[in-house]
Structure 1
């Protein structure tokens, strides 16, 4: 059996890959994502990967044709791709999530795939008035209306996706269409992703490692349903193997209320707060940029019905093996630890060690760059080198690397709706990894990093973002061009640093091959920035053509 997965690198997709790898009936897997994972690492190994942009910066014709080619010969297609951020780009979210789903359905029909399985959500459901009453609300089955929650962009788009699927089912009754509507989906390996999407950098999740809150504040009436990602992965596989059409609620049997949440997050003590007060605080925090999640997520959590999962048990022979409480506890631990996996959406909090093995070794153990390096900060500089000059040189390169990381990551975020996004994102990962290796080398040599210089670079890069290029409410056509030119210069400077360290590797007891590899990587990064520059310079100086589309 051949299965193709659209959106195979995120929280859901990774779990589905794990489940498919454990299914003997599945002999071939095609993974589709805009940004590809490390393909030699589980569960992303043993998969035929295709980089396809379903709607972010592609035409409908190109996307459908590329998808149909990838779907050729598949027995089932699983559509999981969904964009959650950025909240303030509603046109982009709608295009990727709703129009992207429509393009996937068109490609399924064009390729003659007999079975389509789609990730819907509890968020697709209309409000349940029983949620605002006293006592436990009743469980609702899959017949509940899917009109969404008006104040939640995620819910509105999930409801619109259901309408796309309704039209597809009516037009193609010969194709089995299965919709899974999961609750909140948790796993420890999604800790970094979920924190980035919903909590951001300023919420001190890591502080829970040191101690608990006096009491957990919760909105009055909160009731949440969740499912462990591995249980959800098994549900997708069950749907594929059973080939049963229709909708299925997927959630653990337990419901998380205030006491259950407090037992997991705190000492079991909680304070119920009026939902309106919590919502106002979330609105303020989101507007201030403190929390990425907007108030629509709270509205959805407070208003959607609680789901009855009995149809999945009866028709898919599926039962959860994790409780919702266990899934949340694992997620919380993953968030505290900054856990993740080697794929762009799930990259760990300290993601820098993935792409360069040398960056992952502790200082003092060689880091693949220093066979005779220092331990515990001990100075290990040969006498014929001037320590102050070497320390200043490497610290200045680290300062430049800090500014470069900030800029390239911002570029990748800003140009998510361009054909350059996937390559910019890959270069951002590489440049961050390069910076971590440089940090390790400085420590291995027993030198000081001079962190105040990196702090100044961090602030300077952010102040530089205030340059508007003559535009206040929209991006200037010149911005990508200027940023590409700055990054070309930055990578060229970094290349010079690696060449210098290669020249002196033997004298500093460092491995010269590491720097050969970094030099080759820098040349590839320059080639990518040249492509970005070529794309931008065609569009930068004219207002009469599209800037961000091919």
Structure 2
């Protein structure tokens, strides 16, 4: 089987690549994502890769071409953040699912599997297990649940139009693995949460909302369910969850590490919701109050159908999967993709560095070279901040894949240059880097925004021009350092590769600039937010 996986870089996708790679029924894998992963890193090396942004109607044609010759398609792509961009979430999650299904039908794919969720189900007020026949109207107040329910309606319509296609819906509980630790921290706890302290000390007790309970499952077990469903050509919905239930006390025991005595300090859920809402609106907490609403009202999943029809069994308990996730969060674990990147790390470029004891030879003005490299690093620090800000600001436009790819490349090069400077025995930049950082922030305080709080179409044009200029300056820096490659202990080809990478980055930004300038000053076409 040739299988195409849309959204293959995330929590489920990484596990599914490993699962399918080991299946003799699978001949090849195609990974599809907005932001491509480190393709030389496991498990992403198991697949061929292509980029597509499923939120736009134009993606149907692209996806149809990519699906050509595929025996099965798996749709995993889902955008959880940012909560404030509700239209973007709906466009990616709901319309994106519609576009993937339309492309699969156009390409003649016979088997399709879609990641649904326990969040799609209608609310309950008890712990009685529900099978797949329970209603999927979602839980009001949770944008995730509401979009999952809307996704179910898209699949209903597809099944009615294409009865010959075997469409399977996998509805798992919470999905945990160690490698998702940093990703889940960013999505829910935020960078301010001191989860790394759990490696040193555990709290004696943990405040926990009353009446919350949830089911969890290890990502490997979810991947196994997807694999069985695809290989068997299954149809319909399947609940996937471990046997044990995660109560407030169980969760507290895992986080505190306590085996005996009470680990949770019960607190009422009602007053907690406005506090979470306020923290979210103040940008102190990524998670919004809708997740508490869902935790209180999702049903307990009956997994009988998956066990009997797919022969599926969980191999990891919910408690053990949670313990693995907590360990991953405390250590900052991740994998080689943008959504799963480790905490505090930029994607590494993979370029070689000199030996740790390398020293510059005589005949080099060490002070001048150190200052030159430090100034370029300071400029790169500001550039990294600026390009990530651009990618975030224009996430809902067709330019996002190029912007995010350039941002990842610049971040990895910044990390490599920083490491190279340290290998030469140079200290990190002193006042220069903070001054560049402050200057970059001040430069952003320009009247780009039109009231009321609307981005100006000209902002994308000007910001891209500034970044192109910065990359041009960076390229010249690589040219200079290439003349001193031997003295720096770096193979000559490294700087040639960096120069070529800078050219590729300029080409991608030229594409962004072409898109923006053709629309920015016209009144007859949309520049930033496309029409549905």
TM-score interval w.r.t. the shorter chain?
over 0.9
Aligned to 1:414: 393
Aligned to 1:76: 72
Asked whether 1:9 is paired with 2:9, we answer: yes
CA distance in structure 2 between the partners assigned to 1:244 and 1:392 by the alignment: 63
Aligned to 1:141: 131
Which residue, out of 92, 99, 118, partners 2:114? 118
Which residue, out of 221, 246, 265, partners 2:236? 246
Aligned to 2:223: 233
Question: 3-state DSSP class of the match of 2:378?
Answer: helix
Which moved further from structure 2: 108-117 or 427-436? Answer: 108-117
Which moved further from structure 2: 69-78 or 253-262? Answer: 69-78
CA apart distance, 1:372: 7.4
Aligned to 1:23: 23
Which moved further from structure 2: 42-51 or 515-524? Answer: 42-51
Which residue, out of 470, 480, 483, partners 1:490? 470
Aligned to 1:294: 288
Aligned to 1:469: 448
Question: 3-state DSSP class of the match of 2:342?
Answer: coil
Which residue, out of 402, 412, 429, partners 1:450? 429
CA distance in structure 1 between the partners assigned to 2:374 and 2:66 by the alignment: 47
Taking a change above 3 Å as real, the CA distance of residues 40 and 483 of structure 1, as seen in their structure-2 partners, is same
Taking a change above 3 Å as real, the CA distance of residues 549 and 353 of structure 1, as seen in their structure-2 partners, is closer
Which moved further from structure 2: 466-475 or 296-305? Answer: 466-475
CA distance in structure 2 between the partners assigned to 1:7 and 1:385 by the alignment: 49
Aligned to 2:415: 436
1:284-311 deviations in whole A, cap 9, x for unaligned? 2111111111111111111111111121
CA apart distance, 1:470: 4.4
Question: 3-state DSSP class of the match of 1:116?
Answer: strand
Aligned to 2:54: 54
Which residue, out of 510, 523, 528, partners 1:530? 510
1:273-332 deviations in whole A, cap 9, x for unaligned? 111222222112111111111111111111111111121111111010001111111112
Taking a change above 3 Å as real, the CA distance of residues 201 and 457 of structure 1, as seen in their structure-2 partners, is farther
Structure 1: runs of 5 or more not aligned: 131-136, 359-366, 375-379
CA distance in structure 2 between the partners assigned to 1:54 and 1:18 by the alignment: 24
C-alpha contact 1:252 1:323 (8 A) present in aligned 2: yes
1:61-100 correspondence runs (5 A):
62-100=58-96
TM (norm. structure 1) is 0.91
Aligned to 2:102: 106
C-alpha contact 1:342 1:354 (8 A) present in aligned 2: no
Which residue, out of 324, 328, 332, partners 2:318? 324
Aligned to 1:38: 38
CA apart distance, 1:172: 2.3
CA distance in structure 1 between the partners assigned to 2:199 and 2:442 by the alignment: 33
Which moved further from structure 2: 319-328 or 438-447? Answer: 438-447
CA apart distance, 1:258: 1.9
1:447-492 deviations in whole A, cap 9, x for unaligned? 1213443233334433443323242411110111111111112112
Aligned to 2:348: 354
1:144-223 correspondence runs (5 A):
144-223=134-213
Question: 3-state DSSP class of the match of 2:283?
Answer: coil
Aligned to 1:361: none
* Shift >4 Å, 4+ stretches: 371-374
CA apart distance, 1:513: 3.0
CA distance in structure 2 between the partners assigned to 1:33 and 1:349 by the alignment: 21
Question: 3-state DSSP class of the match of 2:151?
Answer: helix
Aligned to 1:377: none
Which moved further from structure 2: 180-189 or 412-421? Answer: 412-421
CA apart distance, 1:148: 0.6
CA distance in structure 2 between the partners assigned to 1:416 and 1:88 by the alignment: 12
Q: How many positions carry a matched residue from both structures?
A: 525
CA distance in structure 2 between the partners assigned to 1:463 and 1:183 by the alignment: 45
CA distance in structure 2 between the partners assigned to 1:372 and 1:229 by the alignment: 38
C-alpha contact 1:186 1:226 (8 A) present in aligned 2: yes
C-alpha contact 2:360 2:487 (8 A) present in aligned 1: no
1:101-154 deviations in whole A, cap 9, x for unaligned? 112222222222222211110000111022xxxxxx222111211111110111
CA distance in structure 2 between the partners assigned to 1:282 and 1:149 by the alignment: 18
Asked whether 1:399 is paired with 2:378, we answer: yes
C-alpha contact 1:372 1:509 (8 A) present in aligned 2: no
Structure 2: runs of 5 or more not aligned: none
CA distance in structure 1 between the partners assigned to 2:424 and 2:399 by the alignment: 38
CA apart distance, 1:382: 4.1
1:297-316 correspondence runs (5 A):
297-316=291-310
CA distance in structure 2 between the partners assigned to 1:478 and 1:2 by the alignment: 44
